[in-house]
Every structure is written in C-alpha cells, then in structure tokens.
C-alpha cells in the first residue's frame, strides 16, 4: 500500500460512497471516523520505513504515479497529515449538530483529499490545478440545490480561477530566473505574476470582498470550512515556492511586499470588523485579519517562520469550526444574523453564544485562549523587525476586540423579564462544549501542539531550519 493511496484516494473514494449510498443520519459518524483513523495512522505508521509487527514487516511506500504525475509523501509529512485529517474530523463530526446536509461530509472528504494531493504532486506546479478543482467542489456546499449562486459565490470562483494562469505562468518563468538570476526584468515579471496569483488565492486586499458576502449569503458552516481549508493548503503551497527558489527567500523587496500585504489585511480586516452589524460578516472580516497574520508570519526574517506560521494555522481550524457551528445553530431562528435579530440570544441559546464569543475572542488573541500563543510569538518576531508593522498589527487586533465586545453587548441585551432556556440539543451542546474546552487547552497549554510543530520544518529543506 502506498501513502498517496491511503491519504488521497481512500478518503476520495469514501466520500463518493457516502454521497451516493449512505443515509444522512450516518454520514457524520462515518466521515468523522474515517478522518480520525487517517489522522492516527499518519502518526503511528511512518512513511517509507519498514515497521515490524510481530513476524510481519509492513512498509508504506512513499509514491505512486498516475497519468505521468507522481504523488510523493515523505516521513516528514506524517505530522502534517495527522493535523489535516484531525481538524477535518472536527468539521465532519460537527455536521450533525449544525444540521448540514449529507453531502457536506461526502464532498468535504473529497475536497480534503484533493487539497492533500496538492502538497504531494510532482511537478509541484500542478498543485495549482488541484486547488482549483477543490474550489469548484466547494460550490455545491455553498449553493443549496435548485438555487442560483449569489454574488459572493460567483466572485469566489472567479478569483480562484483567475489565480491559476498567474501561478502557472510564474512557475514557468521562475525556471528561467533560476537559470539566469541576473536578468532583472525577468525576475520582476516572475515576482509580479506570482504575487498576483497568490493575491487571488489568499484573498489579499482588495480581493477579499467575496468573503463577507459569502458569510452573509451562504451557510455559515460551509463557509467556515472553506475559510479553513483553502487558505491552509495555499499557505503550504506558498511556503513550497519560497523553499524551492533561492531568490524568493533572499529577496528583501518580496519580503517587504509580503509584510505590507499582511499588515494591511490585519489592519483593514480588524477595523472593518469593528463596524459590522452582522455576525456572519463579523466572522468573515475576522478570518481576513487572521489570514493577514499568517501572511505576516510568512514574511518575517527569522528561522522561526515555519513554527509561527503553523502555530497560527492549526488553532484556526478549531476556532472557525466552533464559531461556524454556533452561527449555524443561531441562524435557524435569526435567519439574517443582523444585530437586531440576535439581540438577547444569550437567554435562548446560551451555549452557542458562549462558543461564538470564545472563538471570536480567541481569534483576537485574548489570553488563555487558543489564539494567544501564536499572536504572542508573532509579535515578538515583529517587534524586533518593525515597530510600524507591530503598531498596525495591534490596531487590527484592537478592532477585532471591539467587534467581539459589540457582539457580546448585543447578545446580552435581553428584556428584563425574559427567562432563560437552553434550545440547543445535547449533540449541539456537547460539540460546542468540547470545542470551547479545546480553545482553552490550546491557550493554557500550547505545548500540546509542540510534537507536531517541532517536526513540520522538516517539510522544507531551506526555510525554518
């Protein structure tokens, strides 16, 4: 058995079986269990290394070839695969509590398998095509059956599609740059094309206008899954670019451009979040600001770039899952999710409200929550490099905090004589409770992530070593 067959083809096949043959009632349990098993197997069984079980020797081969393209995993990919499918399991188990349709688990498994393939394919530029295929599979999750797609969905797929030619052309030009690094014109053109491609993929200002539209129009749970999955694999793809091309790693102009893009996203996302009156759009702008933090981490001039980047990426999946699940529960009664529609909801849905606020505060970097250690590590790196960037980063985080406080104020504005009632089901309460506990564990004891994060720099030969 090969590693690509286990972590790419098996989940894709299981997703197809769930989509066509499994009843909705069992899809969450089956999909979540498969993701957990894949995560545990990535931790237990080393890739391309013989493992003796009794008298039997087992070995998972590292590669497989399909249509002339190789899919390769190394031993260093094990922790990353464990993180990917572990976080995906959280999303799949939460579908039953969120009331999401059967196809979320099925299509979600297919999306994760395609995205996983994007980090294994060789030549690595074909990852851009796999990212596009995954983006197209997201559409059935965002658009209900027999309904026309709205503006947010249309803009999302247009921007993701426009990114592909820029990425592919830049990869072709980068080969020429490596052959003649003294050609300034070719270097500038390649860097510009690459920057535009990743600007579309990561929704860098002003190309992030589809995110608040999507969080307002589409299912919060499906949108949250999208905001976790695609940026995570795009960041890994971008780090692979930095690792492969020496002039990208050593270019001070590119590093400055990446930092400027990141700080602009943090500042603008935070300030716009502070002015919102829709809790769905609030999640969208907060996700934009956090993506800016990740881009900032990628641009720091430090050997800790990989550690800090993944310290931001891993808790993001849990934060968005908890927030999106809470919004999905509340949206059943307050369909528009405007402040005026959710006023006083702490007395109707207390557990969902607490979960939403905990996830929101975590993404602002509030102490004792999952987002705090990563923001502390990033601020320490930025403070030694640029006080200007540090100032605007904190300004953006302050905007996120103001947005969280405004949301909290609206939730507690209940009529004086209204009573308290718990409308969440026991499944919803259990999933939200576990999510909030997880946020506190990652905030109080971030060292639980150390076994994963300490081994992730081995994925990249030249950065983070």
Give the pLDDT band (50/70/90) at residue 51: low
Q: What is the pLDDT of residues 212-235, one digit of tens each?
A: 999 988 889 999 999 999 999 999
Q: Are strands 51-53 and 56-58 parallel, antiparallel or unpaired?
A: antiparallel
The better pLDDT of the pair 252, 38 is held by: 38
Q: Which of 100-109, 127-136, 179-188, 258-267 has the lowest mean pLDDT?
A: 179-188
**Mean of the per-residue pLDDT values for the chain?**
86
pLDDT confidence of residue 278: 92
**CA 462/CA 278 separation, integer angstroms:** 43
Q: What angle do CA 143, 148, 150 make, to 5 degrees?
A: 75
Is 84 a residue whose pLDDT tops 70? yes
Give the helix/strand (H/E) hosting 204. Answer: none
Our measurement of the distance from residue 254's CA atom to the centroid of its chain's CA atoms, rounded to an integer in Å, reads 23
Is 290 a residue whose pLDDT tops 90? yes
Our measurement of the distance from residue 271's CA atom to the centroid of its chain's CA atoms, rounded to an integer in Å, reads 22
Is 181 a residue whose pLDDT tops 60? no
pLDDT confidence of residue 414: 75
- The rounded percent of the chain whose pLDDT value lies above 70 is 94
pLDDT confidence of residue 85: 94
Give the pLDDT band (50/70/90) at residue 180: low
Residue the block writes with tokens 């980063």: 393
pLDDT confidence of residue 65: 80
Q: What is the pLDDT of residues 236-280, one digit of tens each?
A: 888 888 887 777 777 777 788 888 999 999 999 999 999 999 999
Give the helix/strand (H/E) hosting 348. Answer: none
Q: Both ends of the chain: CA-CA distance in Å?
A: 31
Bridge partners of 51?
Answer: 58
- Coil, helix or strand for 143? coil
pLDDT confidence of residue 300: 84
- The rounded percent of the chain whose pLDDT value lies above 90 is 43
Q: What is the pLDDT of residues 338-366, one digit of tens each?
A: 988 888 888 888 999 999 999 999 999 99
Give the pLDDT band (50/70/90) at residue 108: very high
Q: Which residues contact 465 (CB under 8 A, 6 or more apart)?
A: 303, 457
Tokens of 356: 């939403």
């Amino acid at each position: 058995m090969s590693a690509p067959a286990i972590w790419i083809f098996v989940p894709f096949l299981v997703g197809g079986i769930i989509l066509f043959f499994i009843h909705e009632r069992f899809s969450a349990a089956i999909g979540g269990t498969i993701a957990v098993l894949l995560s545990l197997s990535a931790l237990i069984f080393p890739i391309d290394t013989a493992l003796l079980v009794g008298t039997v020797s087992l070995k998972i081969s590292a590669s497989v070839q399909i249509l002339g393209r190789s899919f390769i995993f190394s031993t260093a990919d094990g922790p990353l695969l464990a993180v990917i499918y572990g976080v995906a399991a959280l999303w799949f188990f939460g579908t039953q509590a969120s009331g999401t349709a059967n196809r979320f688990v099925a299509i979600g498994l297919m999306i994760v398998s395609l995205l996983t393939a994007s980090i294994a394919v060789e030549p690595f530029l074909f990852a851009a095509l796999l990212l596009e295929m995954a983006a197209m599979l997201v559409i059935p999750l965002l658009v209900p059956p027999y309904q026309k797609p709205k503006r947010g969905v249309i803009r999302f797929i247009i921007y993701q599609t426009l990114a592909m030619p820029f990425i592919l052309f830049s990869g072709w030009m980068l080969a020429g740059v490596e052959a003649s690094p003294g050609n300034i014109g070719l270097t500038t053109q390649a860097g510009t094309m690459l920057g535009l491609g990743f600007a579309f993929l990561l929704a860098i200002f002003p190309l992030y206008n589809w995110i608040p539209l999507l969080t307002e129009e589409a299912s919060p749970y499906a949108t949250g899954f999208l905001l976790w999955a695609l940026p995570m694999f795009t960041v890994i793809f971008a780090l692979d670019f930095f690792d492969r091309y020496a002039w990208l790693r050593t270019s001070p102009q590119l590093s400055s451009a990446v930092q400027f893009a990141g700080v602009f996203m943090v500042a603008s996302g935070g300030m716009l979040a502070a002015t919102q009156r829709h809790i769905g759009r609030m999640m969208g702008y907060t996700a934009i600001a956090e993506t800016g933090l990740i881009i900032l981490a990628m641009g720091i001039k430090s050997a800790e770039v990989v550690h800090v980047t993944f310290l931001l990426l891993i808790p993001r999946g849990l934060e968005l899952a908890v927030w999106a699940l809470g919004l999905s529960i509340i949206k059943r009664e307050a369909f528009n999710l405007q402040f005026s529609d959710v006023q006083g909801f702490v007395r109707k849905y207390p557990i969902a409200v607490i979960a939403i606020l905990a996830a929101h505060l975590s993404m602002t970097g509030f102490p004792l929550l999952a987002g705090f250690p990563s923001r502390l590590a990033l601020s320490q790196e930025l403070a030694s490099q640029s006080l200007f960037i540090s100032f605007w980063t904190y300004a953006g985080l302050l905007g996120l905090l103001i947005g969280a406080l405004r949301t909290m104020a609206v939730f507690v504005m209940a009529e004086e004589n209204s009573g308290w009632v718990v409308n969440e089901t026991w499944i919803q309460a259990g999933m939200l409770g576990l999510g909030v506990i997880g946020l506190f564990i990652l905030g109080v004891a971030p060292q639980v992530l150390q076994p994963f994060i300490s081994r992730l720099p081995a994925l990249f030969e030249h950065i983070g070593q």
